[in-house]
Structure 1
Amino acid sequence: MIDTSITQHVAYLRLRNLQPNTAIHRRGQLERLLAYLGKPLLQAQPVDLEKWQRSLSVSASSVMTYTSHVRAFYAWALEVELISADPARGLVMPKIKKRMPRPIPEEDLRTALITAQHNHQLYCWMLLAAFCGLRASEIAKISRGDLRIEKSGGGYLTVNGKGGHQRVVRVPREVVVELRPVLHQSGPIFRRRNGDPYSPNYLSQQASEHLQSLGLSYTLHTLRHRFATVMCDMGADVRDVQQLLGHQDLATTTLYVAHNARRAGAAVDKLGEGLAAMSRRQIVARKKRPPSSPDTTDK
């Protein structure tokens, strides 16, 4: 079944200059919804969309993603007057619990980097995640013009992040040295043999396969977690870490601070050791206190 409203909506997304992946994912979700409904999307009723949402057998985070796409489509359809009422307005958005970061341990990272050096591009992807905090989607989009190298050897990279938001991150001199072999060409610096850029999913898949081959249950994204937690360990301001990671919500970044509560654990334990000493001093002081004088007043 062909639904022209999907084509219209995707054209609208492109006109707004949204990220290409957003349009791709939106189209895919709307086409799956169309197949489920068996009728044009603009004819859907609230009960139809509620049944569709209840039929989803995926994680809560995926339900939230799918529902967001559908709600955005119908909000647009209402705005451009393709429908007179929004049938998706009552769809429930599941509450997603914040997941704690899972950074790759330093020893495992060292092993992963040493064994990845035979594949220079994979090695660079891991460096950019672990030492610059980049997502796979951000690494895949890096172009030569995005990196400005200083005389000191380090550099500053303009990162095209989620939702089209840009930020600038520092690239250590040691990482710039490893990137130099792929900086000789204009456009995307990481490419297939035919010149096409890699997709973010390919980067993630290759990194995961490499890590799993070493018996490590980590992903490219856990290297980004490592960057954030180490920055917090080193005492970086949480708002600086937020900017480096490209988080829109500070609460997301503070999870890395919470994860690093272990830093202060030893100090808190040391502080607690003083409780016993304080209690002993109080007991001794009470024992040495002279008895009160008897009442000598006349009865």
Structure 2
Amino acid sequence: MNISATNQEIIDDFISMLWIEKGLSENTASSYKTDLTTFCRFLKQFCGDVTLLELSGTHIDTYLEYRVSRNISQRSTSRFLSTCRALFKYLIASHKVNKSPLENIQNPKLPSYLPSTLSEQQVNDLLTAPDDNDPIQMRDKAMLELLYATGMRVSELVNLQMHELGLVQGVIRVTGKGGKERLVPMGENAQDLVSHYIKYFRPELLNRPSNTVFPSKRGTTMTRQTFWHRIKYYAKVAGIQTHLSPHTLRHAFATHLLNHGADLRVVQMLLGHSDLSTTQIYTHVATHRLQKLVEEHHPRG
């Protein structure tokens, strides 16, 4: 179902502002657009030709009730409300509306969530799963090693460019969310492996000029989804049964650093978190693992 031309124009202008002024990533902007387009389709079907400029709290409440009836997750609903708040902040600043219809609407309380992570032995098994003699698998091996060594996001890794690698200095200039840059040390193992891959294996993957460090088989930039499938493949090869996500090695990077005594603010800086509270969840993961170790190995645990 198509949405009204007015709502489409509002959404397009909002997304353009996010791109130009906020430097939002393509994935985040796409999520915002999907949230708002889905909402506008609901409005057209159930509320008539209501534009986003005419929204009331009642419209929002009706949509939230609809989402509950469809068993849509609270986390997804919380993201939708955040999207709407960003939209109305923009509309107010643009003098298109006077106030937000979300003033009296609260986000749903989210269940506590601890990210899944791997033990140090499981990480080692995963990193050694690829074949050292195959160009594709050596690319993947270098990617896995770099992911664990730096805590990069998968989206940051697949978009990494040659000029962002400081192999002599052992650092990477990572372009994160909102176009923010940070310098991250890569460690000796990752430094050696990436250097070896670039010298001996990367040229075999290039069938066209490319500045991408880890090109796909076609020589283009690899998608996040493709690399996620590669991670799952190597986890199967390594016999890892733990539930994985694309950020599993990022979680392991943070948790293992904290387990070995790293300062929380240093981990925050390495991960590129703007808010320390986002990083603090890893202290809970580390504490949870310590509690399990005590329960399993202490004579009175």
TM-score range, shorter chain: 0.7 to 0.9
The Cα of 1:64 is off from its aligned counterpart by 1.2
Is 1:188–2:202 an aligned residue pair?
A: no
Supply the AA of the counterpart residue of 2:231. Answer: A
Q: 1:52 aligns with which of 53, 56, 63?
A: 63
Matches within 5 A, 1:260-271: 260-261=286-287
Supply the AA of the counterpart residue of 2:52. Answer: L
Is 1:203–2:221 an aligned residue pair?
A: no
Query: What secondary structure does 1:168 align onto?
Result: strand
Q: 1:144 aligns with which of 162, 166, 170?
A: 162
* TM-score w.r.t. length of structure 1: 0.78
Give me the whole-angstrom Cα distance separating, in 2, the residues matched to 1:7 and 1:232: 42
Task: Name the counterpart of 2:279.
Answer: 253
Give me the whole-angstrom Cα distance separating, in 2, the residues matched to 1:219 and 1:242: 20
Runs of 4+ residues over 6 Å off in structure 1: none
Task: Name the counterpart of 2:254.
Answer: 228
The Cα of 1:21 is off from its aligned counterpart by 2.3
Percent identical pairs in the alignment equals 23
Q: 2:180 aligns with which of 160, 165, 169?
A: 165
Give me the whole-angstrom Cα distance separating, in 1, the residues matched to 2:120 and 2:188: 20
Task: Name the counterpart of 2:16.
Answer: 11
Give me the whole-angstrom Cα distance separating, in 2, the residues matched to 1:133 and 1:240: 12
- Identify unmatched segments of 5+ residues in structure 2: 204-208
Tell me the alpha carbon deviations over residues 80-134 of structure 1, each in whole angstroms, 9 at most, x when there is no partner. 1222332233332123344234321222222222222352232223212222111
* TM-score w.r.t. length of structure 2: 0.77
Give me the whole-angstrom Cα distance separating, in 2, the residues matched to 1:60 and 1:144: 40
Count the aligned residue pairs. Answer: 266
Give me the whole-angstrom Cα distance separating, in 2, the residues matched to 1:89 and 1:198: 41
Give me the whole-angstrom Cα distance separating, in 1, the residues matched to 2:284 and 2:278: 10
The Cα of 1:263 is off from its aligned counterpart by 5.5
Which one is further off, 185-194 or 231-240?
185-194
Task: Name the counterpart of 2:39.
Answer: 33
Structure having the higher Rg = 1
- Identify unmatched segments of 5+ residues in structure 1: 273-299
Matches within 5 A, 1:75-90: 75-90=89-104
Tell me the alpha carbon deviations over residues 169-221 of structure 1, each in whole angstroms, 9 at most, x when there is no partner. 11112212222334777532122233331233332343134424635222342
Is the 8 Å Cα contact of residues 143 and 214 (structure 2) preserved in structure 1? Answer: no
Give me the whole-angstrom Cα distance separating, in 1, the residues matched to 2:108 and 2:232: 29
Give me the whole-angstrom Cα distance separating, in 1, the residues matched to 2:270 and 2:160: 16
Is the 8 Å Cα contact of residues 120 and 256 (structure 2) preserved in structure 1? Answer: no
Is the 8 Å Cα contact of residues 129 and 220 (structure 1) preserved in structure 2? Answer: no
Query: What secondary structure does 2:38 align onto?
Result: helix
